[in-house]
Structure formats: C-alpha cells, structure tokens
Amino acid sequence: MSALAPFRVRSFRFQWPADLATSWAFEMEALILGWYVFATTGSVQLLVVVGALAWLGSLFSPFFGIAGDRIGVRRLLCLTRGGYALLAALMAALTLGGWLEPWHVLVVAGIAGLMKPSDMAMRHVLVGHTIPPESLMGALAVSRTTSDTARIFGAIAGTGGVALIGMGPAYAVVSAIYVGAFLLSLGVAPVHAAQAHAAKVLAGLKEGVRYVWDKPDLLGAFSVAFLVNFLAYPFFLGLLPYVAKDVYAIGQSGLGWLAGSFAVGALAGSLVVSANRMPLRAARVMLLSTALWFLGIVLFGQIRSPAAGIGLLFAVGFVQSFCMTPLAAVMLRASSEDMRGRVMGIRMLAIWGLPLGLVAAGPLIASVGFSATTLLYAGLGLAASAGIALRWRRTLWLRTAAANSYL
C-alpha cells in the first residue's frame, strides 16, 4: 500500500501539516531552551530539570484522553495548540525585552509541559478514528514523520536560527508556527459526540486503567513504552546539549548536527515502515528494536569521536522508529473504538519515565561520568527488554499472537 494512501482522507490532509507544524515548534523550543539554560548556568542538573518539565503533563495524560473522549479530540488539540502559541509569544517578548532569566524558562517549560505529552496521543486517536483499518499502520508511520522531520528542522532552525537572528526573533518564529498549527487543526474532522462518554473523570480513568491491565498485549506494549522513555530517550531528548558541549566539545552548531542525525535516522525508519514493503510482525519488531536501541546506547556512551557519534545517532534513530510505530499500532489495534482515547491517554503515562530518567541521569553523570551512566541505563534496559519478552511471550512474541499481525 502506498505511503500516500492516508492522504486520500480529507481530515488527514489537514491533520498531517498541523501535526508537522506543532512538532517543528516543539523541537525548536527544546533545543533553544536547552542550550540557553546550559550555556547560561553550566549546570547539567538544571538542564535535565528543564528537559523533565517539558514532559510534566505525562502524569495527567489520562485526563486529557478522557477530556478528548468527552469534548472531542479536535477541540482539545485546538485549545492546547492555542496555548502553546501564547506561551511562545510570552517567551519572545521576554527575550526581546531583555528580561529573560533561567527561572522564566523553568516556569514556561512547566506550564507547556502540562499539555505537550498528550499531543502525540491525541494525534494517534484522530488517526484511529479517521483512517480505515487496512491503512492504519501506514498512516501511523506517515504521522510519525511529523516528529522525525521536526527534529531535523528543529536542529537547523533551533540552533542555527538563534545564531543567525537571535533568540527573541527565533521565538517569534516559533509562536507563528504554533498559530499556523492551530489554524490547520480546525480543518481536522471532529469525533462525533456519540463517541464521547458522560462518565466522571476519575471513573473514566479507573475504567481505562482496568482495560489496559486486563489485556496482556496492551500492558506489555505499555511496559515497553515506559522502559524506553525511562532508560533510552533521556540521552536523545534532553542530554544532547551536554553531549555537544562537554563530551564532544563541538558547541551549538555541533548540537544541531547531533540532533539532526538522530532525526534523519528516525525519518528514514518511519519511511521504511510506512512503505509497507516488508512483512513485519508488529510486536516482535517492537521488542527486537528495543534491544537494538539499548545496544546502540552502549556504543554511544563509549565513543568520543563526533563523526562516529553522529553516524551512530543516525542508526539509533532508524532503529527507534521500528520500536515506536509498531508499539502504537499494537495498542490501537488491541483497543475498542470507544476506549482509544483513554488507552492512548494511559499510554502517555509511560512518558513519565522520561523526566524520571532525566532527573536520575543528571546526578549520575556528575558523580560517575557519562560513559558509566550509559552502561548502567543500557544494561538495565536490555535486562528489562528480555523480561518483558518472557513475561508476555504468548501475546507479544509468538508468531500466532494477534499483536504479531503483519504491519
């Protein structure tokens, strides 16, 4: 099936560029703020705090999932994306006025972080509602390219833009991109009110947790999601400014190369998955790619050559796409239509592993060094990956399992 098949659906033709613009702005902000904080304070602990705050809302993502079921996912996305634009405009004003200080970054990152982690889940829910089942895997892979291309764009615009035009104008561009995302989101097809639930928030949350807990394929996929967020993503979604400055000593332009190489690899992986040229079993591919990802982290921690590190980041980015896209497919396929919002909201709780992993990594790096921290994280990750494969062998590993239907 063609990778362009999802674009035959009118809603997806609006959703994809809206998601793309949002992801571009996310990545620009992350690199701009990360470099500003680390360059201003020189503290890796403060750097990981800023990175952790960006994912603060993962704790509340089930409530966003329930809210999406009740008021409509499109309406919720429009509200949050309008909020991103306002916060970015505030940051641009503070920077242009010469008033910006690190504590401003912490406050704004915390507020935005309450909303951002649920954005990806709501995107997946919209795809699940609007795309026919036979096109779902390809649509998810195409949808994921918004994040992958955004990391490339963010690496160029976030680091290069600040160097060329300054942080204030760069943040004004971020705000304008968010406004464009908001306007495009208005063209996405709404979920009908009949699909929303009148249950109270806590009752809905309890129902969603029970639903995931009682379905082994969902619980196993959730475990993988938490694992990679806790032990893998911290090195690529928070610590790259530290790697660029203190490990490779290649500065802000080097940070752009590091982030861009990981993003190009991720995009290449997403394109391969979306092309549907290979018969891949979803859950098996997810588990094997998780193990390869952690092996890549072992190598990343020992390399001191920037060129070799850039090449390895491309390979790791490629592999992680073969983990995350099948993971989303396993969870959406295993969920009934009326539970998808809550299931993907529960799935976003796994992102809470990222701020926990970042906060733990900061003191570890300061005390035992970067290489030892990568070995510890990767070793734990490989052991946990094997444990998940054994624990849910029947539902995630066996070829005959429903979760292993071909991508």
Which residue in the block uniquely carries the two structure tokens 């970015």?
Answer: 88
Encode pLDDT of 186-196 as tens digits: 888 776 544 44
pLDDT at 12 over 90: no
Q: What is the pLDDT of residues 263-288, one digit of tens each?
A: 899 888 888 877 665 556 778 889 99
Most confident range (mean pLDDT) of 103-107, 119-123, 380-384 is: 380-384
- Dihedral sign from CA coordinates of 336, 342, 345, 347: negative
Alpha carbons 54 and 116: distance in angstroms, whole number: 7
Identify which has the larger pLDDT, 116 or 117.
116
Q: How many CB atoms lie within 10 A of CB 233?
A: 21
pLDDT confidence of residue 200: 59
Based on the number of CB atoms within 10 Å of its own CB, is 23 exposed (0-12), middle (13-18) or buried (19 or more)?
buried
Residues 6+ apart with CB under 8 A from 281: 399, 404, 405, 406, 407
Question: Could you give the CA distance from residue 33 to residue 238 in angstroms, rounded to a whole number?
Answer: 10
**Taking Cα atoms as reference points, which of 143, 144, 220 lies closest to residue 404?**
220
Q: What is the mean pLDDT of residues 341-355?
A: 80
DSSP state of 248: S
Lowest-confidence region among 12-16, 151-155, 180-184, 380-384: 151-155
Distance (Å, rounded) from C-alpha 327 to C-alpha 282? 7
The pTM score is: 0.75
Q: Give the position of tokens 């600040």.
A: 162
Per-domain residue ranges of the chain: 11-404
Is residue 2 very low, low, confident or very high in pLDDT (cuts 50, 70, 90)? Answer: low
pLDDT-derived band at 135, boundaries 50, 70, 90: low
Compute the distance between CA of residue 196 and CA of residue 70 in angstroms, rounded to an integer.
Answer: 4
Whether 301 shows a pLDDT value over 50: the answer reads yes
In this structure, are residues 345 and 62 in contact, taking their beta carbons and an 8 Å threshold?
Answer: yes
Average pLDDT of the segment spanning 4-25: 84
Q: Which of 118, 5, 28 is nearest to 344 (CA)?
A: 118
Cβ atoms of 145 and 267 within 8 Å: the answer is: yes
Rounded to an integer, the average pLDDT of 206-218 is 86
Mean pLDDT of 178-203: 71
What pLDDT is stored for residue 137 in this prediction?
63
- Is the dihedral angle over the CA atoms 314, 403, 124, 213 positive or is it negative? negative
What per-residue confidence (pLDDT) applies to 198? Answer: 44
CATH superfamily of 11-404: MFS general substrate transporter like domains (1.20.1250.20)
Q: Which residue has the higher pLDDT, 17 or 202?
A: 17
Percent of all residues in the chain with a pLDDT value above 90, rounded to a whole number: 32
Phi-psi category of residue 98: left, alpha or beta, with phi > 0 → left and psi -120 to 50 → alpha = left
Residues 61-112: pLDDT tens digits? 666 666 666 777 788 888 889 999 999 999 999 999 989 998 999 999 999 8
